[in-house]
Structure formats: C-alpha cells, structure tokens
Amino acid sequence: MAFHPIVPGLTVSIDVAGQDLPEYNGDDAQDPSSKTVTKYIEALSGAEFAISYRLDTNVFAFASHAMSISVYCDGDPAGRTLVPPNVTISGTRNSIRHHIQESINGDLIRRPMMFSDLTTSEAEVNKDLFSKLKTVGTIVVKWHTGKIVPFTRTSAPSPFLGAKLANGKVPEKNLKGQAITHQTAYGQEFRQGRVSNFTIRCTGEPFAIFEFRYRSHAALQSMGILPRSPSPIPLEDRNIEDLNQEEMRELLRRQQRQRESSGVAIKREIKRERSEFEDDDDDDDDGDDVEIVDRPEKKPRLDVNDPGTEVVDLCGDD
C-alpha cells in the first residue's frame, strides 16, 4: 500500500484478485512535501485490477468532508467515486473495480479494467503517438474535497474511449528506449446501478495524488527497480545430494556426451599422427637428394711375361 507523506491515514493500492500488488520506488526521488506519490508496480498481462483505498479516520483530516475520487488510466478518465462525509468505516478496504460510464437514460455502464501487453513493430515513427505514449502505463488517482449539490445533466454523457492504443501495437522507434510494456484495456460491459441524484462539486486542487506506473517484470529489472535474476549454478558445481532425479539424469547425459566427444577427439588425434608418420616415410624415398659415391679403382693385374715387368725371386738357393 502507498502511504501519503503529507496526508496521514490515507493509503491507496492496486490489487489483483483481492491482493495488493507490491510497490517499488523508482530512481526519481520523491519530494516529501509533494502532493503526488509515485510507485512502480508489476503488470500481469490479462489480469483484471482494482484501485483499493483505506482511511484511518482517527488521523485522516478529511473524514468529515465530501470527497471525490477520480481515476485516470493511461491519461483517460476511467470513472469518479463520490464519498459523502462521515460514511467511511476506519480501516475498511474499499475498491474501485470498473471503468464507469453514464448512459443517456441514467444507467451506469461498467467495464472491468485489465492489464494488456503492448507489442512493438518495425513500422516507421508515428508522430501522433508521442503525446499518447506520455501517459500510457499509468494509473492516477486524484482526491478532491468538495460540496454536495443536486445532480443535473447539462450535457450528453462522454463517449467510451476504450484502450489508448486500439490495436495494442506501437512502433519501436516511437518508444526511443522507454520501458513501456502495457496499457489498460477493458472487459465486457454490463449495466449496474443508476446515476446518483447528487454529485460533488470539487473545490480547489486535489489534496492527494497517487500515480502508479505499471511495467512488465523484465522492464522493471532493466530499469534497475527489481533485481536481476541470479544466474543458475551449473549442475556440475552443485552438491550431488541436492539434485533431484531429473537433474541427475541431465548431469549423467552431459557426462556421457563429454566422454563421447573426448573419445572422438582422441581417435582423430591418433589418425592425424598416423597420417603424419606415413608422410615422413614417403619423404625418405622420393629421390630428391641423390648421393653419388665413387667406386674404388681396380688394381691392374701383373703379367710376368711382360718384358717390362720386374720379377723378384723370393726363393733362396738350395
């Protein structure tokens, strides 16, 4: 719940299925003296939401005043709730769950409010969207005091505008890095209740304003508002006693793939080394380097009958 710093006893929240959504502070510093409280919330695509408020009448200074609560979704009016003086029970949870529109015959047409995700496109910049995008992704609740006066219709009821972006698409170039992920859409209409016979004429400026900026979980993380999810610890680094059956099977599959890939690598290495060895043997016989060795000369044979041959008799005389 968002507490107002200068209006004690007033809290406002956005709830889904009866539960207050957690609220987060952004980087933009809040002025403690400001009438506006700004909070970030996580948008859940397709979920219906409501604006809830509580008053502690023991400290709330405006409990005895007639009040008007005006709701704006994405900058467009979504309805007004009238609170007569001294009717709110202290601490009671009160909720505004529907976009409320008056019909010409006095019936109240109600439509559930819901978060609807936006999709980006590669289309060219649409200049008409820049002004619309300034308020997309916001829920603003303004509180006024006023005076109770009889209701008198002076003009036809305002037409229903519907979602800010009819087709839910926005060119990526229009966003310029803005983390806008959702808009407010409306559910099936139904008629319930009649226009009150009184209204509250607001006096002066609102005494309190609550602005809720809704974004996807991933967008809040990218903006640093939510912490990023920690990287999971690899199975190999975890205690084997902490693994469940499926994680054990996955670890075994990884180990098996690792062994198989290691075996293939070893076979390739052996094949490569064998190929290199055979190439070396071929290089020894390729005949590129030939060593020529001189044959030793034959000694000439002696011919004793040759006149020029000297014969030495080694036999002694008997």
**pLDDT tens, residue by residue, 93-125:** 999 999 998 887 888 999 999 999 999 888 888
pLDDT at 195: 83
Decide if 81 is inside a domain: yes
What distance in Å separates the CA atoms of residue 97 and residue 33, rounded to the nearest whole number?
Answer: 30
Q: Which of 78-87, 199-208, 233-242, 251-260 has the lowest mean pLDDT?
A: 233-242
**pLDDT tens, residue by residue, 30-82:** 777 789 999 999 999 999 999 999 999 999 999 999 999 999 999 999 999 99
Decide if 313 is inside a domain: no
Average pLDDT, the chain: 83
Decide if 250 is inside a domain: no
Q: Are 99 and 74 in contact (CB under 8 A)?
A: no
Decide if 90 is inside a domain: yes
Decide if 78 is inside a domain: yes
Position of tokens 């319930």?
192
Decide if 125 is inside a domain: no
Closest CA to 13 of 159, 155, 175, 214: 214
Decide if 121 is inside a domain: no
- C-alpha dihedral over 223, 226, 227, 230, to 10 degrees? -100
The residue-averaged pLDDT of 140-150 equals 96
What distance in Å separates the CA atoms of residue 271 and residue 282, rounded to the nearest whole number?
Answer: 17
Residue 96: CB partners within 8 Å, gap ≥ 6? Answer: 50, 51, 52, 53, 69, 71, 79, 81
Rg for the chain (alpha carbons), in Å?
46
pLDDT at 206: 96
Residues of the domain holding 70: 2-112+139-158+190-222
Decide if 311 is inside a domain: no
Residue 10: CB partners within 8 Å, gap ≥ 6? Answer: 3, 4, 53, 54, 55, 56, 60, 143, 208
Domain count, the chain: 1
User: Residue 271 pLDDT > 60, yes or no?
Assistant: yes
pLDDT at 13: 97
| pLDDT > 70 fraction of the chain, expressed in percent and rounded | 82
